[in-house]
Amino acid sequence: MALAAGPKVRGNLKPLPPPQDPVTWIENATGDLYPWQRELIGELSAPKRPRVYYAQVARKNGKTRAAACLGLAEICLKPQRHVYAISDSERNLNSVLMQELHDIINASDVLRDSLWIFKDRIECPETGGFIKVRPGNYKAAQGINPHLVLADEVHLLPNEVWDGMQQAGRARADALLLGITTPGYDLTCRAHELYQQVKAGTLPGRIYEGDPALPLDDRDNWRLANPVHDFLPSFAEALAYDLQTMPEHEFRRFALGCWTATESAWMPYGKWDALAVPQGPPPQGTKVWLGFDGSYSGDSTALVGVTDEGHVFVVGCWENPGRKGWRVPRDDVMQTVAEAMNQWDVVELCCDPPYWSREIAEWTAQWGDKVLEIPTFSRDRMAPACTGFYSAVMDGRLTHDGDPRLARHVSNCVVKATPRGDVVTKADKDSPAKIDLAVAAILAHSRASVCVDTPLPPLVCL
């Protein structure tokens, strides 16, 4: 049942339990905590605490409860404390953390009659402190002066919200901004930056994560990411079930506490890297197929080659270096294509036509039928090509030159299901993560596979 607008006020408020150390007090008031929760609350309730703290743990280990208990200890044991919980929505005040606070208070015989519960805030009349929920947008950080900010699932917050909340507590001597989260998939977000800082030892925090290089079913590795593993008898059994039913990228994030490159990662972890054979470009005169994916300014422009033995190598890549107004150097691209056509025995140059129709027409005039147009927006053509490329990787029938740019573009690919099969795309059309080298490699590999394996091209080659 939805809460009414007003507070749930009893006629005779009961006094709070006598002050103790925060961990003992909160356990007496709300029930036992897990050891890792005790450590976190004890560390962040100390007189000299950090101004920013990042905690990362796998799903279902009690992170939201830990944040909620820290907030309750803050407003009940210290006078006139201003605590803010950040909503996971930019527009409304629905908050998993606020719901957790409601549940904890209503289940506590000690706190139920000592605090006022509103829909969007918790008030402690005895100390004058409160916990208020704020929407997850930049404006919510304006006009507040917090002692404590609780940012749950910080990997979902826009960067400017985190930055705004960090600035909001600047006037408080003991202000704390706590980010507590499961790992995400956007490696450009603020949470991943905080994760890297904690790993480097430049930011206070704690990270519970498994070793991504170990097998997924390594149960000792499960313990590293799940601090409650040994305290819940059914936890390991639940993880074993998840391993059988969840996609790998989800199991790595939610069960092993590992960041993944994308929300729906295309390649299993480590599979692409295992196929690296750094041997430089093929010798002059080698038979190759070239894939070209061009752009105007925002995306990369990519030229990738594939030999008849299935070796993938980068010929050229033009990426925006982060400079405003940057444009792809078309003359440089034209020169690189011409050099490639002269250096190797190019069977076909497969091109994605948008933005480069004039240049493709020039290439066709110069090299004739060797130049093919394969629009990457066509699911009928790209789905079989993506499937063939993926199968070659999984079966070990493909090698590559180990170029880190190509590896990055492959890891940025997100799977999208279509009636024709899976195709690769960006996680978001505005994402800065590029996939153009991967697309060019798929185009070249598709044509090379057709011409080497079967004389009759499938639909992808029409």
pLDDT at 122: 96
Mode of pairing for the β-strands spanning 205-207 and 311-318: unpaired
* Top-ranked range on mean pLDDT: pick from 125-139, 264-278, 335-349: 335-349
**pLDDT greater at residue 260 or residue 316:** 316
Q: Can you tell me the mean pLDDT for 13-28?
A: 95
Res. 460 pLDDT band, cuts 50 70 90? very low
Q: How far apart are CA 328 and CA 301, in angstroms?
A: 7
Q: Can you tell me the mean pLDDT for 302-315?
A: 97
Res. 271 pLDDT band, cuts 50 70 90? confident
Nearest to 76, CA basis, from 9, 118, 21: 21
Per domain, the residue ranges of the chain are 22-207, 273-461
Q: Can you tell me the mean pLDDT for 258-273?
A: 77
Q: How far apart are CA 459 and CA 462, in angstroms?
A: 5
Q: Can you tell me the mean pLDDT for 420-444?
A: 86
Q: How far apart are CA 377 and CA 418, in angstroms?
A: 12
Q: How many residues in the chain? A: 462
pLDDT at 193: 95
Q: Can you tell me the mean pLDDT for 111-118?
A: 95
CATH superfamily, domain 22-207, is P-loop containing nucleotide triphosphate hydrolases (3.40.50.300)
Q: Give the alpha-carbon dihedral of 265, 266, 268, 273, to 10 degrees.
A: -110
Q: Can you tell me the mean pLDDT for 271-285?
A: 92
Res. 297 pLDDT band, cuts 50 70 90? low
Look at residue 440 and give its three-state secondary structure. helix
Q: How far apart are CA 156 and CA 191, in angstroms?
A: 8
Q: How far apart are CA 163 and CA 140, in angstroms?
A: 12
The answer to whether the CB of 70 falls within 8 A of the CB of 44 is yes
The answer to whether the CB of 167 falls within 8 A of the CB of 144 is no
- Share of residues in the chain with pLDDT > 90 (%): 67
Nearest to 431, CA basis, from 446, 450, 411, 448: 411
Q: How far apart are CA 281 and CA 437, in angstroms?
A: 16
The model's pLDDT over 132-186, given as tens digits with 9 standing for 90+, comes to 999 888 787 888 999 999 999 999 898 999 999 999 999 999 999 999 999 987 7
pLDDT at 9 over 80: no
Query: Phi/psi of residue 427, each to 5°?
Result: -60, -35
Q: Residues near 315 by Cβ (< 8 Å), separated by ≥ 6?
A: 281, 290, 303, 304, 305, 336, 340
* DSSP-derived secondary structure letter, 95: -
Q: How far apart are CA 444 and CA 20, in angstroms?
A: 68
The model's pLDDT over 396-411, given as tens digits with 9 standing for 90+, comes to 999 999 999 999 899 8
Compute the half-sphere exposure of residue 402: CA atoms within 13 Å on the CB side of its CA.
6
52-89 as b/e: b if 16+ CB within 10 A: bbbbbbbebbbbbbbbbbbbbbbbbbbeebbbbbbbbe
Indicate the angle between helix axes 190-200 and 159-168, nearest 10 degrees: 60
Give burial (CB, 10 Å; 0-12/13-18/19+) of 179. Answer: buried
pLDDT at 301: 94
Q: Kindly report whether the global pTM for this prediction surpasses the value 0.75.
A: no
Q: Can you tell me the mean pLDDT for 16-22?
A: 94
pLDDT at 451 over 90: no
CATH topology identical between 22-207 and 273-461: no
pLDDT at 111 over 80: yes
Res. 459 pLDDT band, cuts 50 70 90? very low
Res. 244 pLDDT band, cuts 50 70 90? confident
Q: Can you tell me the mean pLDDT for 8-23?
A: 82
pLDDT at 403: 95
Res. 264 pLDDT band, cuts 50 70 90? low
CATH number of 273-461: 3.30.420.240
pLDDT at 213: 83
DSSP code per residue over 115-171: SEE-SSEEEETTTTEEEEEE-SSGGGGTT---SEEEEETGGGS-HHHHHHHHHHTTT
Nearest to 152, CA basis, from 204, 100, 105: 100
**Mean pLDDT computed over every residue of the chain:** 89
pLDDT at 261: 66
Q: How far apart are CA 190 and CA 160, in angstroms?
A: 9
Residue 137 in tokens: 């947008």
Give CA separation, 346 vs 287, 343, 419, in Å. Answer: 6, 8, 33
**pLDDT greater at residue 234 or residue 138:** 234
Measured in Å, how far apart are the chain's first and last C-alpha atoms?
A: 59
Res. 224 pLDDT band, cuts 50 70 90? very high
